[in-house]
Structure 1
Amino acid sequence: MFGFSNTASIFFNRSFWESVGIIIKRVFLLLQSIYAFSGNNDSNLLEHWFWSGCVLRSVRLLRSNSGSVQAFIVPATRRILEHRYKELHGLASYPQEIKFSYEELEHNVKKYWMMAETGNPQFAIACSEVASAFGFIGSLIFLSSLVTLYHFETTQYSDYNWSQKVIVGIQSLGNFIGSIAPAFRCFAAINCFELSKKWSVNHLNIFKVEEHWTQRFQFWKRSHVRSHIPGRHCKIVFHISKNVILNICIALQIMLVVICKLISLVPRSFMILISYCWYFCKLLIKFKNEVNVSNSNVRSEMNEYAMYVLQIEDDAKLSERISINALKSINKLLSKSEKNEPRNLIKLLKKSTGFKGVLEFDNDQVPPLHSEETKNSWSLVVVTLTAIVVALSNTADDHGEGLIACMREGLRIVRNIEECFNADSDLVNTRKAARRVWTQVEVYRKWLQIDLQKKAHERKTSKEILEWLRNDAVKIVIQFKSCKRRRIDDSHYKFIAASSMYRVSQTILIHCSELENWPTDGKLLEWLLNMIADILCACFTNLPRTIKMMYMCHHDAIEKRENSVRSAAQLLGRSRKILEILNTRQLPNIDVDSMAYISKWHELPKSEIPNGAPLNQNQLAFPSPNESVIIVNIGV
C-alpha cells in the first residue's frame, strides 16, 4: 500500500491509540482524586486535575461525534464510489480474446490498482473535512496539556512533591498517546488533495455542504414507514413528527459539517500558505531545472493512470504525491514478484513445444471400473503423473526430486486457475483429492499411504512398477464399490485418486506395449516429463483470464478489491516468463470457456493439437539431489 493508505488504515482506526490514552488518564485521575481528597489540596495540582478531566471528556466526545458524523455518510460514499468504479470499469475493460502480452496485463492491473486504492470508503472519509477538523482539535488538546505541564509548579513543602511530578507527567503522556491518531488524521487529510485555485475557493466556502453528507437522512424522509397506528389523523401526526425529527437531524448534520469545515480552514490555510511559499522558493532557486529521472518517469506514467482515480468530489484533484506513491507501490510489487519467478518450473516448460500431452495421459480404450465416473482436473492429472515419475525415478537418474521441485511451483499457479474456473462440485472434490495426494507425494514420497519408491528399491522393472500401481489402484476402487458405509471425507477422495491412477497407469502400459520394443527407463521418464510439461502449458493458457478475473473482482466488496488486485499483480509478476513462453505457441481451435477444463482439451481431435518435440530430443536437465534446488513451499 502506498503512504496515505497506510495512514488511513492504521491511524483512521483510532481505537487503539485513543483507548490507550484514555486508560492512562483514567488510572491517574483516580490516583489524583485519592490525593486530592486526602486533604492535600494543592491549587496547581487541582487545576491540572480539572484540565485533565476536560481532556478526557474531550477525547471521548471526539470519538463519539466523529464516528456518528461519518457513519451517516458511509452508505452514500459507497454508492458514489461504486457508481464511479463501474463507469471506469467500462473504460478499463478490454476484448475477450486470449492474449499473452505481459505489458497489456500489467497496464490493466495498474489501472484497477488505482481504482481499488482510491475507491476504498475508508480512504475517502479519511480525506474529508471531518477527519481534518477532529484531528486538529485533538492536536490542540495535546498542545494545551503541554502548556499546562510547562506552567505546573509543585508545592515546595508537600510530602507528595515527587509523586505530583510523576502523576502530571504520565497524564501528559496519556494526552500525547491519545492525540497521535487525531494528529495523523489531520496531517493526512490536509495533504490529500492537490492545491488549486478552484479547490481552494470551494473549500473557503464553508457553507456549501455536499449532498452525500445528508443523503442518508433524505433517503429516510422519502422512504415509506409501515406503521400499525390506527386512524388517518394519527398517521398524519406520525409522519409529520418523523419528518420534523429528520429535519432536525439534517440541520444538526449540516451544522456539524459547517463547523468542521470552519475548523479545518486553520490547518488547510496554513498548508496553502506553506505550499505557495515553497512554490516561489523553487522558482527562485530554479529547482525545476533539476529533474529527478526516476520521478519524472513515474510522473509521465501517472498521467496515463490519473483518469482511473476515484473521487467523491469532481473539483478536488488527488494530490500528485499520493498518486505517485500508489503507482510506485504497484511497480514495486510487480518487480518483487518477478524476482520470485518459478525457475524450476520454467526450466520444465521450455522443454515442451506443444500440447500433445493432454491427449496422451488418458486412453479411451481403458475400460471404467465404476459406473460413477470421476472428472479430471489439471492438478489431479499432474499429481498422478508426478507420483508415477517418483515411483520410477530410482530406476533411471532420479528425476523425481527435480520434478517435485517443479511441481511445488507449478501447482501454486494451477490452483489459482482452478479456483477461478472450476466451481463445479465434482471438480472441487477432485481438486481437494489432488491436494491431499500431493501432500503425501511431496512430504512422504507416498501415494495413498503406499511407498512409491519401494518397488524401485527392489530393482523392479518399469513395467512391473506400473502394473503394481495399477493393481493397487484397482483394489482401492473395488473396495470403494463393495463398501456400503462410506466415509465421505476419506474413502471418496481415495476413490477419486485411485480412479485417476488406474486410468493413467493403464494408459502408459498400453502405450508402451504398442511400441516395437519396451522403452528404456530413461526414454519412458522423458516421455512422462514432456507429457507433464505439455499439460501444464495447456493449463497456463488460462493465465490471462485468471489474472483478469482476479483484478476485476466484481463479486467482492469494495473494501476487498485491493487485496484481489494485489494477488493478481503477484501472480502476473511470477508468471512473466511463462507468458513469454506461451506467446510463441500456436493454440488449438478451442473456445475460450473450454480452455479452462482438461477434459475439453482431451476431447480435441489429434489433428488440432500442435505437435511437441520428438521423444528423443530435448533431454530434460533436472537438478540432481546433490545439486541446489530452488524450492518454494506453497502449501498445496
Structure 2
Amino acid sequence: MSYYQLADSPLGSKNMGDIDSPMPIIGVYVAAASMACSFAMFLNSCLTFINSFPKFNFRFSGNFFTLNATWLTLLAVATKVAADLTTPKSSYLDNQAKVMNTVFLTVAMGNFFTSLGSMNNTDILTNLTALSILVITVVVDLYIQLRFHLFDRQSSSVIIIQIALLFCTWMTIVCTGLAVPAIKKRAESKYQKLVSDERQRQMEAGQQHYRVEELRLSITKYWVMAATGSPQLLMKRLVTFVYTNIICLFSGFISFRSLFNGVRTGFNSASRRNQSEYKSSINMILLSQYYVTLPTVVIATIFMISVVGYKYENNGIRISREEVTIESYWTEKLVEWRQRSILMKFKRRTLKKFIHSIKSLILTFCILIQNLNVMWCKFCSVISFYSVLPLVLLVNPLGKLINHYLGKLFRKKKVSNDKRTPEVDLNCFVILLEGEKQFPKKLLRGIINRVDKLVEMGNKQRPHNLFNLLNQSFSFGGVVEFDSNRVSSLLSSEPPNCWTLPVVTLTSIAIAIPNIASGHVDWLVSSANEGLRYASLIDVLDGKCGLKSIKNAADVVWVGVELHRKWLDMDLKRKTGEINSVKDIIQDLTNVSERIVMEFSSKENKMIVENPLYWPANVLAANSMYRITRTILLYYEDGECHAEELFRKLICMIADILAACLNNLPHMIYTKCISSAIEERLESVRDAAIIFGETEDILNFVEERKLSSIGPSKPLCIDEWRGWIEQQVTTVSSSATSNGASSVESNEHVVLQILA
C-alpha cells in the first residue's frame, strides 16, 4: 500500500490523528512560556512607567525580564510556531501566530536592552551569542517557509517586513553590547573623579565629622551621581535605545493591523476554515503574545514623547552637531580586539602574519558595520524627533496646565519640601555621556525630588523605641562594663567582639529576669531589634574576617529571642515560677552556656577549638553568655541582686553600647553612598537615603550631645572602644589618685568626666 493510499484509508486517518494529537498539548506549553515572558515584560513596562514619576518610590526597577539563559529558553519555546516547518500552508491562525512570534521576539529584545548595562563583559558575550543563535534560527526558518510559499499572500508581505525589523533590532542589540564596557568605563571614571573632588573639598574645608544637613546634602549629591551614572539610565540615553523603541512601535502597529485585517477578512476566506494542528491552543498562543504588545506600544510612545521633549527643552527645534557625530565608545572594543595579538602560537612568521591580517580585515569590516549602524540609528532618531515634535508641542501646554492646578492643590506641601532641600547647583555632579552637552533640567529635578521622597519615606519609619532607649544612656560605661577582665576564659583563646552579639546576649538576660512587666520586656526587645538593624550594618564596615561568624551567631540567636523568647532553644521564662532568686537564674544561664562550650571543646578537633573564627554559632553565643553572666555575678558577688535594679542596669548597658555604635551612623551612610559597584550603586545610595530619614532624630541627638567627637580614632570596632575607654580610665584614675581621690571613686565617674 502506497503512502497516499494509507493516508486515505481509515487506518491512515487514525494514525495521522495519533501523530497530530500531541500538538495541542505542545501548544499549551508554548502558550504557558509566552504568558510567562509576557507577564515579565508587562511588569517591566508598568514599573518603567511608574518610576518615571518622582512621587512613586518602588524598590524594584524594571529588571524582571533580563537577558539570561532562563528567559532565552522560555523565549525559544514561545517562538516555536515561527520555526515550525510542518504547519499547513492554508492555516490562517498558524500564519497569524508566525507573524505574532516575530513581533513577540522583537518586543522581547527591546525589553532586553537595558539589562545589558548590568552585565559584565563575559555575560554580555555569552548572552548575545545565545540570543544571536535564537534570532538566526527563527529568521532562517521563516525564510525557508517564504521560499516554499507556506504563507498566504497577505501574511508573506507582513512576515518580510517583520523579519527586517527583527534583524535590525538584533543588530542594534549586538551593536550596543559591544559598546557597553566602554560606556561603563567612562561613567565610572567620571564618577571616581567627582568623588575625589568632593573628598578634596571636604579636606580643604577641614570637615572631620558630618553635620546632619551636610550629610543630607552629600546624599543628594551622590544620588545625582549614582542616578545619572546608573547603567539603566545610561542605556536609555543611547541613540540605539531610541531606535529600538521606534522598531517596537512599528512592530506593534504591524501586529494590530494584521490582526484587524484578519478579523475583517479571515472569516470569509477558505484559509480560515482550515483548522490548525495546534487546535484551540493556537488561540491561547495568540492571546498570550498580543497581551504584551499594547503596553509596549504605550510605553514606547511615552518614551518617544519624553525624549523629544527633553531635546526640545535643551536645543529647541535645532539638532546639534554632537547628535550626528559617532562617539568613540561605539568602536573602542572592536579597535582593541583588532590591535591585540593572536593567542595561538605558530612556528612560521608568515602564517601568523597572514592570520593577523585576516583578523584585522574582519574587525575593520565590523567597525565599518558598527559605524553605519550607529549612523542609521542617529538618522532615524532625527526623523523621529521632527515627526513627534508636533505632538510634543501639543502635549506640553496641557501638561503645564495640569501641573498648575495640581500645584495649587499641593502648594503647602511643596513649600515644606522646598525648605528641606538645600539650594545648591547639582549640575556639576551629573555624569554625562560622551557627546551629551547637558542633562535635561526636568529629568534632573525629578531625580532630586526622588531622593527627597526617599528621605520622607524613611522619616515615616523612624525607630521611636530605639530613640527612647538611647535616652537611657548617660555615658559609654556599658561598653566596658558588660565584660569584665576578671572573668577567666573557658578555652585558650577568645573571639573578638562585635556590636550585635553583646546586645543580643544582654537582652536575653533581661528577658530571663523574673517579676518584670511584660510590657517593659516587649519594649526592650523592640528597641533592641531596631538598634540591631543598624548595628549589623556597622559591623559589616569592619573588615575583620572574624566578625562575620560572630555576627552570624548574633543573627541566629536573635531569631529565637525575638520570636519565641528562647536563647538557643532554652526558654528564658521557663524557671520564673520555680526560681525566685535573680542570682540563681543568672547562675543557671552561666552553667548552661559553660556546658555548651566545654562539650564543644571535648568533641571537636583541637585546631578548630584553638581558632575562634571556626567556632559554630551556638558556641560563640554560649561563650558570650558565659562571660557576661559571670561579669554580672562578680558585680553582685557580695550584695543582693534585685530584679528591677538589674533590669535597669542591663537597659543602660544596652543603651551605652548602641550609643557608641551609632556614632558610626554618618560614616556608615557615607560609605553606602560611595563603596558600591556601578551596577549596585543606585540601590546602595537609595538605602542610605532611607536610613538617613529613619535615623535623622538619632543623628541630631548625636550632634547635639557632641558624641561624634568622643571616642577612638577608628570607632568602627567595639574592642577599640573598650581599649580607648580603659586607657581614659587609667589616665583619669592616675590623675585623681595624685590629687588625693580614691581610685574607686574616680573609676566610677571617669566616663562622665570624659564627656564633660
TM-score range, shorter chain: 0.7 to 0.9
* 1:355 correspondence with 2:466: no
How far apart are residue 399 of structure 1 and its match?
Answer: 3.1
Residue among 640, 655, 670 paired with 1:548: 670
Higher RCO (Cα < 8 Å, 6 or more apart)? 1
Corresponding residue for 1:496? 620
Q: State the Cα deviation string for residues 589-634 of structure 1 (Å, max 9, x = none).
A: 53332x1111222222334964399xxxxxxxxxxxxxxxxxxxxx
How far apart are residue 21 of structure 1 and its match?
Answer: 12
* 1:3 correspondence with 2:127: no
How far apart are residue 412 of structure 1 and its match?
Answer: 1.1
Corresponding residue for 1:68? 174
Output the CA distance in 1 between the equivalents of 2:662 and 2:621: 23
- The residue identity in structure 2 corresponding to 1:611 is L
Note if contact 1:133-1:264 (Cα within 8 Å) is conserved in structure 2: yes
Which ranges of structure 1 fall in alignment gaps of 5 or more residues?
Answer: 614-636
TM-score of the aligned structures, taking structure 2 as reference length:
0.69
Output the CA distance in 1 between the equivalents of 2:540 and 2:517: 36
Output the CA distance in 2 between the equivalents of 1:73 and 1:199: 29
Corresponding residue for 1:366? 487
Corresponding residue for 1:331? 452
Corresponding residue for 2:82? 26
Corresponding residue for 2:265? 154
| Cα distance change on mapping 1:179 and 1:51 into 2, 3 Å | farther
Output the CA distance in 2 between the equivalents of 1:272 and 1:295: 31
How far apart are residue 97 of structure 1 and its match?
Answer: 5.9
Q: State the Cα deviation string for residues 380-428 of structure 1 (Å, max 9, x = none).
A: 111111111111143567632221121221111111111121x323222
* 1:611 correspondence with 2:741: no
* 1:513 correspondence with 2:569: no
* 1:532 correspondence with 2:654: yes
- The residue identity in structure 1 corresponding to 2:446 is N
Which ranges of structure 2 fall in alignment gaps of 5 or more residues?
Answer: 1-49, 95-148, 733-748
Output the CA distance in 1 between the equivalents of 2:320 and 2:337: 28
Residue among 545, 568, 575 paired with 1:448: 568
TM-score of the aligned structures, taking structure 1 as reference length:
0.81
- Equivalent residues in 2 for 1:417-456, closer than 5 Å: 417-421=538-542, 423-456=543-576
Output the CA distance in 2 between the equivalents of 1:134 and 1:322: 21
- Equivalent residues in 2 for 1:594-605, closer than 5 Å: 595-603=715-723, 604=725, 605=728
| Cα distance change on mapping 1:58 and 1:170 into 2, 3 Å | farther
- The residue identity in structure 1 corresponding to 2:265 is T
Corresponding residue for 1:573? 693
Note if contact 2:187-2:431 (Cα within 8 Å) is conserved in structure 1: yes
Q: State the Cα deviation string for residues 295-353 of structure 1 (Å, max 9, x = none).
A: 79769868632222212135442323322222222222221111111121111112222
| Cα distance change on mapping 1:410 and 1:281 into 2, 3 Å | closer
Note if contact 1:355-1:535 (Cα within 8 Å) is conserved in structure 2: yes
Give the length in aligned residue pairs: 601
Output the CA distance in 2 between the equivalents of 1:611 and 1:388: 26
SS of corresponding position for 1:106 = helix
SS of corresponding position for 2:513 = helix
How far apart are residue 361 of structure 1 and its match?
Answer: 1.0
Note if contact 2:322-2:436 (Cα within 8 Å) is conserved in structure 1: no
Residue among 132, 137, 147 paired with 2:247: 137
| Cα distance change on mapping 1:350 and 1:33 into 2, 3 Å | farther
Corresponding residue for 2:597? 477
Output the CA distance in 2 between the equivalents of 1:525 and 1:8: 46
Output the CA distance in 2 between the equivalents of 1:286 and 1:373: 64
| Cα distance change on mapping 1:50 and 1:32 into 2, 3 Å | farther
Q: Kindly, what percent of the aligned residue pairs are identical?
A: 25
Q: State the Cα deviation string for residues 247-268 of structure 1 (Å, max 9, x = none).
A: 2111111111111111122221
Output the CA distance in 2 between the equivalents of 1:22 and 1:472: 60
Note if contact 1:2-1:329 (Cα within 8 Å) is conserved in structure 2: no
How far apart are residue 364 of structure 1 and its match?
Answer: 1.7
Output the CA distance in 2 between the equivalents of 1:611 and 1:542: 21
SS of corresponding position for 2:622 = helix
| Cα distance change on mapping 1:302 and 1:248 into 2, 3 Å | farther
- The residue identity in structure 2 corresponding to 1:570 is I
- The residue identity in structure 2 corresponding to 1:548 is Y
Q: Cα RMSD over matched residues?
A: 4.2
SS of corresponding position for 2:576 = helix
- Equivalent residues in 2 for 1:172-211, closer than 5 Å: 177=292, 181=296, 184-185=299-300, 187-188=302-303, 191-192=306-307, 193-195=310-312, 201=318, 203=320, 208-211=325-328
Q: State the Cα deviation string for residues 506-528 of structure 1 (Å, max 9, x = none).
A: 222222235xx525322221111
Q: State the Cα deviation string for residues 121-174 of structure 1 (Å, max 9, x = none).
A: 332222222222232233234334545555665388656667899999996995
| Cα distance change on mapping 1:28 and 1:234 into 2, 3 Å | closer
Q: State the Cα deviation string for residues 163-188 of structure 1 (Å, max 9, x = none).
A: 89999999699578458547745753
Output the CA distance in 1 between the equivalents of 2:62 and 2:518: 54
Q: State the Cα deviation string for residues 195-215 of structure 1 (Å, max 9, x = none).
A: 367586555677521111111
Output the CA distance in 1 between the equivalents of 2:268 and 2:555: 77
Output the CA distance in 2 between the equivalents of 1:72 and 1:544: 40
Note if contact 1:369-1:477 (Cα within 8 Å) is conserved in structure 2: yes
| Cα distance change on mapping 1:494 and 1:250 into 2, 3 Å | closer
Output the CA distance in 1 between the equivalents of 2:65 and 2:382: 20
Output the CA distance in 2 between the equivalents of 1:79 and 1:302: 31
Corresponding residue for 1:592? 713
Q: State the Cα deviation string for residues 217-237 of structure 1 (Å, max 9, x = none).
A: 222233233442343433333
Output the CA distance in 1 between the equivalents of 2:159 and 2:390: 35
Note if contact 2:252-2:297 (Cα within 8 Å) is conserved in structure 1: no
